[in-house]
Amino acid sequence: MKFPNLIDLDQKYQNVWFMSDLHYGHENVLKFGLGRPFGDLAEMNAFLAETVRNTLNKKDILFDLGDLFWKTEEQEMKSLCKCFPEKTIKIIGNHDKENLYCPGGVLRHYFWMVADLIDLKIRYHGESIRMTLSHYPILEWNHRHYGSIHIHGHCHGNIDRTWNSDPKELRIDVGFDGELAREKGAFLLSLDDVLDALRKKTGGLPFEIWARQNLKQQPDPPEDEQK
């Protein structure tokens, strides 16, 4: 099944979810994670698995933006992945072992697409929303000045106040420890959660109009500086 560059939610109702930086099986994340009030690793893993099982539907769309497992037994990884929707998109993070997700990898068949970065459009309530998704936050992304939003993980909420709080930037951290996940009390964030958070910045203006007013495209340097 080919991955499309346009997902039309107006044609068929589906829930869309985002998550990042679960770090299932990663004990050290209990020390630096901002939103992890767990007594030990077993408690965290059980919470992650139970939430996935009780929240996701096979007909949903799920974007995992990286750092899913760490030092986890194969059967335990497969047990969690079996609970994912059929249309689950995997973005590779720095703690992901790529051999698990590459063609022939033991987890590859659980994912609709595996990539480092994805550009796509989602049509939702009559609006076409451009987005760029990656594990790492980036400063400039495709169609940024035309209203494309950038969704990332990796930072565990550590750049939310210094970078993502910039009222002009349509960039958001959907990681477990990010500001939005902590505000919602959930590591599975819906498309509405993400859009509502960004629309607070725009005052409800469509992203394209906001970007044209606030995110001017940088002019090309003079010809002599391009050499």
Q: 138 with 112: CB under 8 angstroms?
A: no
Residue 220 has pLDDT above 60, yes or no: no
Residues 164 and 179: their CA atoms lie apart, in Å, by 10
Domain-located, residue 147:
yes
pTM: 0.92
Domain-located, residue 2:
no
Domain-located, residue 173:
yes
Q: How many domains does the chain have?
A: 1
pLDDT (tens digit per residue) in 50-63:
999 999 999 999 99
Domain-located, residue 152:
yes
pLDDT (tens digit per residue) in 160-214:
988 998 889 999 999 999 999 999 999 999 999 999 999 999 999 999 999 999 9
Residue linked to tokens 């993400």:
194
Residue 226 has pLDDT above 80, yes or no: no
CATH classification of the domain holding 13: 3.60.21.10
Going edge to edge, which strands form the sheet with 149-152? 6-8, 117-124, 127-134, 149-152, 171-173
Containing domain of residue 120, as a range?
A: 9-216
Q: 10 with 185: CB under 8 angstroms?
A: no
Report the pLDDT value the prediction gives residue 166, as an integer from 0 to 100.
84
Report the pLDDT value the prediction gives residue 217, as an integer from 0 to 100.
61
Residue 35 has pLDDT above 90, yes or no: no
Report the pLDDT value the prediction gives residue 216, as an integer from 0 to 100.
73
Residue 9 has pLDDT above 80, yes or no: yes
Which alpha helices (DSSP H) does the chain contain, by range? 29-32, 41-55, 74-81, 179-184, 191-202, 207-214
Percent of the chain at pLDDT > 70 equals 94
Domain-located, residue 79:
yes
Domain-located, residue 180:
yes
